[in-house]
């Protein structure tokens, strides 16, 4: 077995309508519902026109700066797949550009998440296809391999397994384990609904902020008496 240079078959089940039920939910609300412990990190930023990313992960691991296996993943992709690429976070050479984007659009790929660099940003900014990446460079990729497809990959603090649900918006990108997607959805919807209620109270001037001082006092903070000055404690 050629470990590090192999393509596994697609053996993960479709999440079906569950994907569409997540579409449009703020990633921040989903993240809060996952105890804020997962995420691709602040380096993975959106470079497209703001379209929401939602689909199942077709995972790819590549040598930094080489996109041969990304091309192979596009050939294997089914409509709605998100191609998730572990490229070592290296920004020396790009992994995708506008030509790959065109191939992927023809296959109805849902988007890209790349822990590496991209190029042709002007074209990507005008595209409806979501593209999240760690950075930009004009230097193009190599196409020699090796790499792996449909294996677990790691991007930042986020482990992505083939078939996991990927969501992304202007705040960043997040992976949801396929086995957790059904149970997480009600909690994410509840969090989103609670935030909408908070906005309604803020706009109406009916928000209760008494919790702030209570929390500060509970932390052990001392409120000094009137007239006290920090300057008098200076050494």
pLDDT band at 37 (very low <50, low <70, confident <90, very high): confident
- As a whole number of angstroms, the distance between CA 67 and CA 85 comes to 9
Q: Is residue 33 part of a domain?
A: yes
Residue 230 belongs to some domain of the structure: no
- pLDDT band for position 71 (cuts 50, 70, 90): very high
145 is in an annotated binding site: no
User: Per the annotation, does 197 bind a ligand?
Assistant: no
- Please count the structural domains in the chain: 1
Q: Is residue 39 part of a domain?
A: yes
3-state secondary structure of 132: strand
Q: Supply the range of the domain harboring residue 101.
A: 6-191
* Residue 105 covered by a domain: yes
* 226 found inside a domain: no
Reported as a single tens digit per residue, the pLDDT across 119-175 is 999 999 999 999 999 999 999 999 999 999 999 999 988 999 999 999 999 999 999
Tell me the backbone φ, ψ of residue 81, rounded to 5 degrees: -70, 145
Residue 120, annotated ligand binder?
yes
In a domain, 233, yes or no: no
Beta-bridge mates of residue 94: 117
83 marked as part of a ligand binding site = no
Q: Which residues does residue 82 pair with via DSSP β-bridges, in sequence order?
A: 57, 111
| Predicted local distance difference test score (pLDDT) of residue 120 | 97
Is 207 annotated in some ligand binding site?
no
Q: CA separation (Å) from 18 to 69, 165, 182?
A: 28, 9, 7
**According to the annotation, is 97 in a ligand binding site?**
yes
Query: How, if at all, do strands 131-136 and 45-46 pair?
Result: antiparallel
Q: What is the CATH number of the domain that holds 180?
A: 3.50.30.40
Helix (H) or strand (E) holding 55: strand 53-62
Q: Does residue 1 lie in a domain region?
A: no
pLDDT in tens, 11-35: 999 999 999 999 999 999 999 999 8
233: pLDDT strictly greater than 60: no
Whether 159 is in a domain gets the answer: yes
CB burial of residue 58 (10 Å; 0-12, 13-18, 19+): buried
């Amino acid at each position: 077995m050629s470990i590090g240079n192999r393509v596994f078959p697609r053996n993960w089940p479709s999440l079906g309508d569950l994907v569409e039920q997540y579409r449009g939910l703020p990633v921040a609300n989903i993240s809060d519902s996952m105890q804020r412990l997962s995420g691709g990190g602040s380096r993975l930023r959106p470079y497209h026109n703001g379209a929401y990313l939602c689909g199942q992960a077709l995972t790819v691991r590549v040598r930094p700066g080489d996109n041969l296996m990304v091309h192979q993943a596009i050939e294997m992709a089914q409509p709605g797949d998100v191609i998730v690429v572990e490229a070592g976070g290296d920004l020396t050479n790009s992994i995708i550009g506008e030509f790959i984007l065109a191939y992927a659009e023809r296959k109805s790929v849902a988007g890209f998440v790349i822990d590496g660099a991209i190029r042709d940003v002007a074209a990507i900014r005008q595209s409806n296809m979501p593209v999240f990446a760690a950075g930009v460079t004009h230097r193009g990729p190599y196409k020699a391999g090796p790499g792996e497809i449909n294996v677990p990959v790691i991007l930042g603090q986020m482990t992505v397994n083939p078939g996991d649900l990927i969501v992304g918006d202007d705040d960043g990108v997040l992976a949801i384990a396929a086995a957790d997607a059904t149970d997480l959805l009600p909690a994410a919807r509840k969090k989103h609904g609670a935030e909408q209620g908070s906005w309604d109270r803020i706009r109406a001037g009916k928000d209760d902020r008494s919790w702030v001082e209570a929390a500060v006092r509970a932390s052990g903070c001392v409120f000094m008496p009137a007239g006290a000055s920090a300057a008098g404690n200076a050494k």
